[in-house]
Amino acid sequence: MAGGARGKGGDGSYPPICRWWLITVMPGLVPGIHVLARSPEKGAWMAGTSPAMTTRRHLVKSIPIAAIAMAITIISPAHAQSLPGGFVYLRDIDPSIIQDIRYATSNNFVGRPLAGYGAGECVVKREVGLRLKAVQQELAAQNLSLKMFDCYRPARASLDMVKWSQNGHETAAERRYNPNIPKTELFRLGYIASRSQHSTGAALDLTLVDLKADNSAKYDPSKTYADCTAPVAMRAPEGSVDMGTGYDCTDAKGHTAVTSINPEQRTWRKRLVAAMARQGFVNYSKEWWHFSLPGAGGAAYDFPIQPRIR
Ligand SMILES: [Zn+2]
């Protein structure tokens, strides 16, 4: 079995992690903003007429109106949606693209949400999002849709995967994703790594949905499913076309051009690869679900994925 390193972990060839200084540090450098945001009892500040007015209240009263306006702007929900590094919520670019961000749920190989996935939202570089929209428009004419499994991945999530791979025990549910490789080997073989191309915003995990099909079957954590290489009816449902394996299947059967799948499954893979390629996306040969846009990446990021507010 050949080792892949991009879906679950990454290939470790990316620059050091960047910090989202503006959001995580800047408020700490502006004490007034923290006070305004976190101390409801200080609501009396604005009255400014009490005979018991303290020195602090005098100080606050002297803060220019513009500074207060800036603080309110920074803590307002709309401003909290600003993302660093040219990242955007895919839903803001194309709400018709289906999203099932598995690492924000327990329905993944780790069995719980990963660190940094505070919301099931696909976050992408704007250029990547615009190209996905173009792919989606072409697919819509064929009654198909993209379905996103993973997009931007906070660097801390990759470290969480590494920690998980070394935690010394393995459940049957976890083993569904790597039926032929012990969990303890995943890190050594490079399937899980501490850095991921996903953290640069250039990589995506996705599949196709046939909008004419019945996609209503939902994953049930109380059920026992066959592993990711089993026939589709026995695998955990993913609400998408049958690509021959489930998502994140660490197995030779997950290699895009493998011949041990049926013609219909091969055709679906080819349709996905061709549709993505028309917008410049390149598939990773060992994972039918992993694509990247050459040139779209850069530094890796670690800002957490937070709920989109609109
Ligand atoms: Zn991937």
Quick one: which of 123, 137, 146, 130 has its CA closest to 203? 123
Give the E-state strand segments of 157-309 in sequence order. Answer: 203-210, 282-284, 287-292, 300-301
The three-class DSSP label of residue 45 is: helix
Q: How far apart are CA 297 and CA 304, in angstroms?
A: 18
Q: How far apart are CA 306 and CA 59, in angstroms?
A: 34
Element (H, E) at 112: none
The C-alpha angle 198, 199, 201, rounded to 5 degrees, equals 70
Name the segment(s) of the chain with CATH classification 3.30.1380.10. 86-301
- Cα(30) to ligand 1 centroid in Å equals 38
CA of 58 to the centre of ligand 1 (A): 55
Grouping H, G, I as helix, E, B as strand and the rest as coil, residue 282 is: strand
**At 27, is the secondary structure helix, strand, or coil?**
helix
| Pairing status of strand 144-150 against strand 98-99 | parallel
Q: How many whole angstroms from 124 Cα to the centroid of ligand 1?
A: 13
Is the full-model pTM beyond 0.85?
no
CA distance 310 to 306: 13
> Residues of the chain whose pLDDT is less than 70?
1-80
Judged on CB neighbours under 10 Å (0-12, 13-18, 19+), 105 is: middle
Name the nearest CA neighbour of 272 among 284, 262, 232, 260.
284
Kindly give the distance from the C-alpha atom of residue 191 to the centroid of ligand 1, in angstroms, as a whole number. 11
Provide the strand spans (E) within 84-219.
Answer: 87-89, 98-99, 123-125, 144-150, 203-210
215 C-alpha to center of ligand 1: Å?
A: 23
Q: How far is CA 290 from the centre of its chain?
A: 13
- The pLDDT score that the predictor gives to residue 8 is 64
Alpha-carbon distance 15 to 119, whole Å? 26
- Calpha distance 44→56 (Å, rounded): 12
261 Cα to the center of ligand 1, angstroms: 21
Q: How far apart, in whole angstroms, are the C-alpha atoms of residue 254 and residue 265?
A: 11
Q: What is the CATH number of domain 86-301?
A: 3.30.1380.10
Helical packing angle, 126-140 and 263-277, nearest 10°: 130
For ligand 1, the distance from its centroid to the CA atom of residue 205, given in whole angstroms, is: 5
What are the backbone angles phi and psi of residue 131, rounded to the nearest 5°? Answer: -70, -35
Q: Give, as residue ranges, everything with CB less than 5 Å from ion ligand 1.
A: 7, 205, 290
pLDDT for 281 equals 98
CA dist 197 and 5 (Å) reads: 10
Q: What pLDDT score was predicted for residue 184?
A: 86
